[in-house]
Structure 1
């Protein structure tokens, strides 16, 4: 994994574009929750635990998984190592290189239903943590016994989203906060990069000048295609599917050339 060189903290002056990233299967090429199971003896969950999952309550399920891993003697170092070894999605490091070289224009944020320990561990290992102004995800930390304790991010009333996180609520609150800080609309355009069904809800808040980047042939992409055919009026943003981070770079270069 090659990190962008000479990374610096985000430029203090106002940036024109906001780039929002999902984490699992977007920045990284698999689910971090699945990847850490490789630290288990046997590298898989027992059926009783897998079958205990309830739709819309994934955070609650992962709390049980992490407790089970601790009971099986999986150490912090083993979890740390499993997370560090996850591969980035194709071309994502090149995308980070591009955004780092134009950091005066782009503000970067993560909105993910993973957890803070996994995300910060991976971003630090990849050398890109300092590119991100903010990470919105579920709290997670190790207790004195060595168990990774996961908590829900927030509560909300959105019927489309899992009980612990509505990404649209997070996005709208962030934009409102940044608008207040900047004394006006802070971003000319917003870009949302994701892959999953839970990336649809925040994308619905995007404007006609904004762009949703769904990973091609993943749930977000398939659902957006269905919306285009049946409910086109509800989705305002441009849709640019991606296979590699290079596809996103190409799109951003065209937008930058419009200056």
Structure 2
């Protein structure tokens, strides 16, 4: 799903109509407005960042025989994974796979190394320190199910992802998050659009006052795109030797100084905690 060159990524993607508030974010209607004096804004990807595998791939394990039929796998088209997953979920429903089986499979997804420690660290901080947001190309049912199961859901102020719900027949219905014009990203989501709009919206709500730092934790090629929106003084946390990290290194080698944010690769959530402790110690 990656294009020919790292530089095809849409650094300043056009804003779709409205803004992130009009897109599919999962939030309790009773939730209070976010505080406007939080010091740091931190974004997390989900697949292979919070969970140590692709949540969509886990659905194969609940299929009959633990495999998808060849005719179904052959329908995948590059950049159209969301549409492919819609067909996979329809097939699972046709095979009698229940919502309970799907939720149970998601609940068993292993966290990445050190991620539970990182989540508990963030939960232990004063409420004014970190505003935590998830931006993911997974879906709302998978993310909400996993976070609730591990007790981490209260940490996340917003979740931006592809909307999903179980219909009356028990089929998990999946929709694309939005449309965009970025040449690199999958057709259903450019995370750079989400990050840029959310930061701009929150800046407005904060009376124009910026965060001390914006932080982005991810692993994949589609996490590289939003990391390009970060400013000097912000921090990108790419999972070490995963596509996001490789693309950052490619840009730094080809165009030194083009990538603005500081880069802190991570193998474990504890690597991220070490950096967060340092920035918390600064006035």
TM > 0.5 between the two?
A: yes
Partner Cα separation in structure 2 for residue 21 and residue 10 of structure 1: 20
Count, aligned residues: 251
Q: Structure 1 177/199 Cα, relative in aligned 2: closer, same or farther at 3 Å?
A: same
In structure 2, relative to structure 1, the CA distance for the partners of 1:13 and 1:158 (3 Å cut) is closer
Query: What residue number does 2:118 align with?
Result: 95
Work out the CA distance in 1 between the residues paired with 2:34 and 2:152: 14
The answer for the alignment partner of 2:233 in structure 1 is: 209
Q: Secondary structure at the match of 2:257?
A: helix
Distance 1:11 1:136 in 2: 16
CA contact (8 A) 1:11 1:104 kept: no
- Determine the C-alpha separation between the residues in 1 that align with 2:218 and 2:255: 20
CA deviation string 1:224-259 (max 9, x = no partner): 111111123321001110000000000111111122
Q: 1:16 aligns with which of 33, 39, 43?
A: 39
What is the alpha-carbon distance in structure 1 between the residues aligned to residue 229 and residue 211 of structure 2? 14
Residue of structure 2 in register with 1:132 after alignment:
156
Question: Is the Cα contact below 8 Å between 1:213 and 1:239 reproduced in 2?
Answer: yes
In structure 1, list runs of 5 or more residues that go unmatched: 1-8
Alignment match, 2:243: 219
TM-score normalized by the length of structure 1: 0.94
Residue 195 of structure 1: aligned partner: 219
Distance 1:214 1:238 in 2: 11
Structure 2: runs of 5 or more not aligned: 1-31
1:232 corresponds to: 256
1:71 Cα deviation from its structure 2 partner: 1.0
Q: Does 1:81 align with 2:104?
A: yes
TM-score normalised over the length of structure 2? 0.86
CA contact (8 A) 2:36 2:205 kept: no
**Within 1, Cα distance between the matches of 2:261 and 2:68?**
40
Aligned structure 1 segments of 4 or more residues deviating by more than 4 angstroms: none
Task: Look up the match of 1:177.
Answer: 201
Conserved 8 A contact 1:32-1:83: yes
Alignment of 1:51-90 (within 5 A): 51-90=74-113
For residues 109-140 of structure 1, what are the alpha-carbon distances to aligned partners after superposition, in whole Å with 9 as ceiling and x for unaligned?
A: 00000000000000000101010110000000
Question: What is the root-mean-square deviation in Å for CA atoms of aligned residues?
Answer: 1.4
Cα pair 2:36 2:206 within 8 Å, conserved: no
Conserved? CA contact 1:156–1:164, under 8 Å: yes
Tell me the distance in 2 between the aligned counterparts of 1:233 and 1:11. 34
Matched, 1:43 2:71: no
